[in-house]
Structure 1
Amino acid sequence: MGGQVSVQGLHVVVVGGGFGGIAAAQELKAKQVSFTLVDMREAFHHNVAALRASVQTGFAKKTFIPYAATFGESFVQGRVERVDTQGLKVTLEGGKEIKFTHLILCTGTDGPFPGKFNTVASHQTAVQKYDDLVKEIQAADSVLVVGGGSTGVEMAAEIKTEYPVKKVVLIHSRVGLADTELLASVRQQVKEVLLEKKVELILGEKVLNLEQLKLNVTQKNTALTTDRGTQILTDLIICCTGLKVNSAAYASSLPSSLAENGALKVNAQLQVEGFSNIFAVGDCADVREPKMAYHAGLHAAVAVSNIINSNNGKDLTSYYPGRVTMLLAMGKDDGVGQYSGFKLPRQLVALTKSQDLLLWKSWKEMEQQSP
């Protein structure tokens, strides 16, 4: 009985159903806290596997998991347009309002497809979008991947692994590949893997007029030029740059709590600056660490724990970033990465992440069976 009394009167709204959002929702569900999870999609997107879904026929259906089957009436599909901090409610596109005692913002980051898929969509529409890109890649003899961060290097490796005879060129505005938080030796290993797979690298150059080029559609012998005058002919352009914090749901409502990049300033307890009942987790929280699904899950546990603790008058839990752990799947047969600041063997990364891309974990967390 004590457990139920401790959460009496609470209703938590979770905005965003990415990794942080579903982790928060499952924590709330397990602790019998009343909640509503809001997301614009009909199904959770395991976007860790989005790039393989772009190259492998039939794979996309494994990467979308319906929310309603897990959360029932506690899930509402919609786009949050406004947060009313005085009236304690969120307003969805179309006017629907949802009241809350506490709010957890998990809106994540946004960016170009296929790395991100943040749009109002049915389950089938989402799957079909990726299946369509598979066909475009299959129709292309050459593919240009723009951007050499984590998404770009994984994208290039996925294409070359699945279609080794295709010409794959990766262009990156910097000389170093992958995330700057990674060890220099790991970033060098990323380059070595791509070269082993025969990916052509153009480093320290930018594509001119990228915004005017047609993306994700095969158009034979498309010509483009870099800022250093390099001429490139390609059949298909895939953009893996331009990730930004997805602040649309809260930017106008919480202007004094915004960091320069649109993330929300939070204290060590992950409470949004200026509010005791609003929390930010995952990519939209201004925490100095790599933006990863693993971290979002840790944030969610702290936020839910603190909502319950504050309701019971108990001390709040703090979140402290640890040493960098990051695994990059370089196709289904290879990978690079580091654990707590130490470089890992490529074969180990391939076994632990690259083969299944941790899909089993999301299906287990959502309490459903993978197709």
Structure 2
Amino acid sequence: MGGQLSAPEGVHVVVVGGGFGGIAAAQQLKSEGLDFTLIDVRDAFHHNVAALRASVQPGFAQRTFIPYAETFGHSFLQGRVDRVDTDGQRVVLQGGREVQYSHLILCTGTDGPFPGKFNTEASYQTAVQTYEDFVQQVQAADSVLVVGGGSTGVEMAAEIKTEYPDKKVVLIHSRIGLADPELRSSVRRQAKEVLLEKGVELLLGHKVLNLSDLQLNVTQKNTVLTTDKGETLTTDLIVCCTGLRINSAAYSSGFSGSMADNGALKVNDHLQVDGFSNVFAVGDCADVREPKMAYHAGLHAAVAVTNIMNSLSGKELVEYHTGNVTMLLAMGRDDGVGQFNGLRLPRCVVALGKSRDLLLWKSWREMQQKQP
């Protein structure tokens, strides 16, 4: 390819985590002709932007998992990273396998409750079936309680009510404002309006007591629970959309001195991990003050790979700067709210741009595979 760097001797980039940032980094490394290994616990990329749709619509889940090996061949390695030996510059997997690196890109992302997240070690087929099984639980319930009114909870409630308008859907949230605090207040109000229009019941300023003791994601008719304000609720199915946390297990021992309190990695403007010029953090595990989104992970990946290329050729490193917030919330397949570069978008634009297909086309194109 024209303009491609001839790979210098001894250069091997290891990318830990095959989420949005990981596949963007791997594709750029591949196109630049650099030797690399992409490591992930699963055998397929999960387009989890569409995970909530896959939770309510039968047959949809298979479109949200894209096999790594078909795209990256022998440059993909399935396994769970146990630790990073920074002195020896090697990644150690569970089971003892080691992979040497000259440069390391950490893209371990966040973890949280199913169905919004699916970070289990599982085959493509098992992952798809797990979502199909959950769809059956939703179908069996006459009423659903969604716990958590951040962006995930808002989208989850809208997806259920859109697909099954006759079901009773209640959204409970500990705060009064819905969705991500980084969004414009007018967009957050719009999200509330859409939910109410769809018939979702809102219980704001309440917390579910003893959530950890309750059975989640399984339909149990007439389950009774209580809120911290003494409100009693009866529901058939409880779906938790709270509790996202940084996935730091792979690097916590090797980079303990470079971690923020929440487990994210401290980075400079070049996205280099604090104290390591050849290690980069990308996406949710980078301690960058901005919403945790697939869109930002892709931007981070481009900066990290460009800086690896520039360091090899002696060029100046580029910087990453957070811009105005761009965030789109799919409120079911027929509606949505959001903002682009800080400006609120019309609902119809979000519905057309994101909600109908949930940007699946983009991931299939990035992975250079044909969507089923």
Which TM-score applies when normalising by structure 1?
0.99
Runs of 4 or more, structure 1, over 2 Å off, are 1-9
The whole-number CA distance in structure 2 between the counterparts of 1:203 and 1:5 is 58
> What is aligned with 1:271?
272
CA displacement at 1:8 relative to structure 2: 3.8
- Answering whether residue 148 of structure 2 is matched by residue 147 of structure 1, we say yes
The residue type paired with residue 141 of structure 2 is: A
CA distance in 1, matches of 2:6, 2:357: 41
Aligned to 2:158: 157
Which residue is equivalent to 1:36? 37
Q: Which residue of 2 aligns with 1:319?
A: 320
2:211 partner amino acid:
L
Deviation string for 1:268-300 (max 9, x for gaps)? 000000000000000000011111101100100
The 1:312/1:6 distance shift into structure 2, 3 A limit, reads: farther
Match of 2:188 in 1: 187
**Deviation, structure 1 residue 308:** 1.1
Measured in 2, the distance between the counterparts of 1:149 and 1:5 equals 46
Task: Map 1:233-252; keep pairs closer than 5 Å.
Answer: 233-252=234-253
In the alignment, the residues of structure 1 paired with residue 121 and residue 245 of structure 2 have an alpha-carbon distance, to the nearest angstrom, of 18
Q: What is the CA–CA distance in structure 2 between the aligned matches of 1:136 and 1:249, rounded to whole Å?
A: 33
Say whether residues 1:17 and 2:36 are aligned partners.
no
Instruction: Check conservation: 1:154, 1:329, Cα contact below 8 A.
Output: yes
1:7 Cα offset (Å): 4.0
Task: Tell me, yes or no, if the aligned pair for 1:55 and 1:134 is still in contact at 8 Å.
Answer: yes
The alignment covers a number of residue pairs equal to: 371
Classify the secondary structure of the residue corresponding to 1:145. Answer: strand
TM-score by length of 2: 0.99
Q: Partners in 2 of 1:111 and 1:279 — Cα distance?
A: 23
2:287 aligns to what? 286
Provide the residue aligned with 1:305 in structure 2: 306
Structure 2 match to 1:129: 130
Question: Structure 1 pair 315/237, CA: closer, same or farther in 2 (3 Å)?
Answer: same
Gaps of 5+ in 2: none
Counterparts of 2:286 and 2:230, CA distance in 1: 39
State the 1:6 CA deviation: 5.3
Q: CA deviation at 1:324?
A: 0.4
Question: Cα distance, 1:119 vs. partner?
Answer: 1.3
- The answer on whether the counterparts of 1:269 and 1:302 sit within 8 Å (CA) in structure 2 is yes
Query: Is the Cα–Cα contact under 8 Å of residues 158 and 198 in structure 2 kept in the other structure?
Result: yes
Whether the aligned pair in 2 keeps the contact of 1:145 and 1:240 (CA below 8 Å) is yes
Q: Which runs of no fewer than 5 residues in structure 1 stay unpaired?
A: none
Give the conservation status (yes or no) of the 8 Å contact 2:307–2:317.
yes
Matching residue of 2:356: 355
The secondary structure found in structure 1 opposite 2:310 is helix
CA–CA separation in structure 2 for the residues paired with 1:93 and 1:72: 21
Deviations 1:187-242 (A, max 9, x none): 00000000000000000000000001010000000000000000000000000000
CA RMSD, 1 decimal: 0.9
**CA distance 1:328–1:2, shift in 2 (3 Å):** closer
Q: Secondary structure at the match of 2:6?
A: helix
- What is the aligned partner in structure 1 of residue 224 from structure 2? 223
Identical pairs, percent = 74
CA deviations 1:152-204 (Å, max 9, x no partner) are 00000000000000000000000000000000000000000000000000000
| Aligned-partner SS, 1:317 | coil
Q: Provide, for residues 344-369 of structure 1, a one-character-per-residue CA deviation record: whole Å limited to 9, x for no partner.
A: 00000000000000000000000000
Partner of 2:94: 93
Secondary structure at 1:5 match in 2: coil
Q: Deviations over 1:300-322 (max 9, x none)?
A: 01100101111121110100000
